[in-house]
């Protein structure tokens, strides 16, 4: 989508949101007047109108918190398991499922840019692209280390295991942002794609790996059917990574958000998902907790995102 069409869609959505908010407020006032007559049906309708207005106000607050330049961009999400083999690879796949379900609920257009399956179960890595309203602004709350505590389905002794996975979230850089990427700074390797993908994918050297020599950043893509498609997707991820790299150097706050990402282990997690001996999801940055673990793993992470954005807003205001 071009920047002009993106801005048009954004303004249309804002207008529609404000219209719904105004109509909901008017409906609530109308039902409030009717309740003066002690009408039971009017009281029930008033409760529904209040709930509708409250939901719209929460949504509007979220939009107001999404004020950074990149918040309206599409998002590139990368998931990598920590040490632990199959156990961590399975956890990484559970996170992928969680974000895909979140994307479906938020009407995002999603596609897989790169996927490497695990040896026995789960994934070794995956790169996803989410395009939708405020995709990056909402998903940036997920950047960091996620910890899972559960009885391992891969342990015949039924022991409790702790697994880690790293999630990185990058804005899909707009075409109008100038990034000086020299052809001579790139090493491009092609290789045969691994894993499922059909006869064509597995028999031709369609997968692409690009190394940006000055920074050492490496990106790869093997999910498209053609080498050209994989190169285009890999360049998209490289642009996002280089943009994030520049932001880290310029912005100390953003650099702090990335700090410790390489240590996928104890003490560095942003959120813990406990399935045993009790059931709880806790965000260590905001203190937000949810006992409905199944709902969270099904993609209902909106409260965590809201509280993270609120905390970020408060930090920026105080700073």
- Asked whether residue 309 falls in the same domain as residue 225, the answer is no
Mean pLDDT of the chain: 86
Give the neighbor-by-neighbor strand order of the sheet with 186-191: 186-191, 207-212, 217-221
Q: For position 251, what pLDDT does the model report?
A: 66
Q: With a threshold of 0.75, does the pTM exceed it? A: yes
- Domain final residue pick, 12, 31, 65: 65
Per-residue pLDDT, averaged over 11-37, amounts to 84
N residues, the chain = 319
288 and 164 inside one domain: yes
What pLDDT, on the 0 to 100 scale, is given for residue 254?
Answer: 45
More confident residue, 63 or 123: 123
- Indicate whether 310 belongs to any domain: yes
Is 234 contained in some domain? yes
Q: Write out pLDDT tens, residues 153-184.
A: 888 787 899 999 999 999 998 766 778 889 99
Same domain for 169 and 102? yes
User: 172 and 93 in one domain?
Assistant: yes
What pLDDT sits at residue 285?
A: 95
Does any domain span residue 88?
Answer: yes
CA-based nearest residue to 239, from 165, 164, 297, 185 = 185
7 or 33: which carries more pLDDT confidence?
A: 33
The structural domain count of the chain equals 3
Q: How large is the average pLDDT for residues 14-27?
A: 86
Give me the pLDDT at residue 3, please: 65
Q: Show which of 218, 250, 282 is a domain's final residue.
A: 250
**What secondary structure letter does DSSP report for 267?**
T
- State the CATH number of the domain containing residue 243: 3.30.160.20
Higher pLDDT, 145 or 176: 145
Residue pair 296/303 in contact by the 8 Å Cβ criterion: no
Identify the domain boundary among 235, 250, 265: 250
Could you tell me if 235 and 109 lie in one domain?
no
Residue 265 lies in a domain: no
Question: Do 155 and 194 belong together in one domain?
Answer: no
Question: Is residue 194 domain-shared with residue 241, that is, in the same domain?
Answer: yes
259 located within any domain: no
List pLDDT tens digits, range 199-250. Answer: 444 556 789 999 999 999 999 998 887 899 999 999 999 999 999 888 887 7
Under the phi-then-psi rule, with left for phi > 0, alpha for psi from -120 to 50, and beta for the rest, what region is 158?
A: left
Burial classification of residue 291, based on how many CB atoms lie within 10 Å of its CB (0-12 exposed, 13-18 middle, 19 or more buried) = exposed
Which residue range is the domain that position 44 belongs to? 3-65
- Interatomic CA distance for residues 145 and 23, integer angstroms: 42
Residue 230 pLDDT? 92
pLDDT-above-90 percentage for the chain: 51
- Of 104-108, 257-261, 274-278, the one with minimum mean pLDDT is 257-261
Is 135 part of any domain?
yes
| Closest by Cα among 207, 315, 299, 183 to 254 | 315
Same-domain pairing of 302 and 164: yes
Q: What is the pLDDT of residue 159?
A: 86
- Shared domain check, 189 and 149: no
192 lies in a domain?
Answer: yes
pLDDT higher than 50, residue 80: yes
pLDDT for the residue numbered 197: 46
Q: Which alpha helices (H) appear in 35-85, and where do they start and end?
A: 40-65
Please tell me whether residues 169 and 312 are part of one structural domain. yes
Measure CA of the first residue to CA of the last residue in the chain; give whole Å.
35
Question: What is the model's pLDDT at position 83?
Answer: 81
Query: Is it true that the peptide bond before 197 is cis, omega within 30 degrees of 0?
Result: no
Q: Taking a C-beta distance cutoff of 8 angstroms, is the pair 81, 165 a contact?
A: yes
Can you tell me the mean pLDDT for 44-53? 89
Is residue 118 domain-shared with residue 167, that is, in the same domain?
A: yes
Contact partners, residue 273, CB within 8 Å, separation at least 6: 146, 147, 148, 149, 281, 293, 296, 297
Residues 81 and 222 in one domain: no
> Does residue 51 carry a pLDDT above 50?
yes
| Residue 261, in any domain of the structure | no
Provide the percentage of residues in the chain whose pLDDT is more than 70.
Answer: 88
**pLDDT range class, residue 99, cuts 50, 70, 90:** very high
Q: Is-contact 237 113, C-beta < 8 A? A: yes
Question: What pLDDT does 319 receive?
Answer: 62
């Amino acid at each position: 989508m071009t920047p002009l069409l993106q801005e048009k869609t954004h303004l249309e959505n804002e207008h529609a949101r404000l219209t719904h908010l105004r109509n909901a407020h008017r409906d609530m006032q109308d039902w409030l007047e009717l309740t003066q007559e002690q009408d039971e049906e009017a009281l029930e309708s008033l409760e529904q109108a209040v709930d509708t207005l409250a939901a719209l106000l929460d949504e509007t607050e979220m939009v107001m918190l999404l004020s950074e330049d990149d918040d309206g961009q599409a998002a590139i999400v990368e998931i990598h398991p920590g040490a632990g083999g199959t156990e961590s690879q399975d956890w990484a796949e559970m996170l992928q499922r969680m974000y895909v379900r979140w994307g479906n609920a938020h009407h995002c257009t999603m596609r897989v840019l790169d996927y490497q399956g695990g040896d026995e179960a789960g994934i070794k890595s995956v790169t996803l692209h989410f395009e939708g309203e405020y995709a990056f602004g909402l998903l940036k709350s997920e950047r960091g280390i996620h910890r899972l505590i559960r009885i391992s389905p891969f342990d015949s002794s039924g022991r409790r295991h702790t697994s880690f996975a790293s999630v990185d979230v990058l804005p899909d850089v707009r075409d109008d942002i100038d990034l000086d990427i020299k052809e001579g700074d790139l090493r491009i390797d092609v290789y045969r794609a691994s894993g499922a993908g059909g006869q064509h994918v597995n028999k031709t050297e369609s997968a692409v790996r690009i190394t940006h020599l000055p920074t050492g950043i490496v990106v790869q893509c093997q999910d498209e059917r053609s080498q050209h498609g994989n190169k285009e997707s890999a360049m998209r991820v490289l642009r996002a990574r280089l943009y994030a790299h520049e932001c880290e150097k310029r912005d100390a706050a953003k650099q702090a958000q990335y700090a410790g990402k390489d240590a996928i282990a104890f003490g560095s997690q942003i959120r813990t998902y406990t399935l045993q001996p009790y059931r709880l999801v806790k965000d260590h940055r905001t203190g937000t907790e949810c006992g409905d673990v199944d709902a969270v793993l099904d993609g209902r992470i909106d409260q965590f995102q809201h509280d993270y954005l609120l905390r970020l807003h408060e930090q920026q205001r105080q700073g």
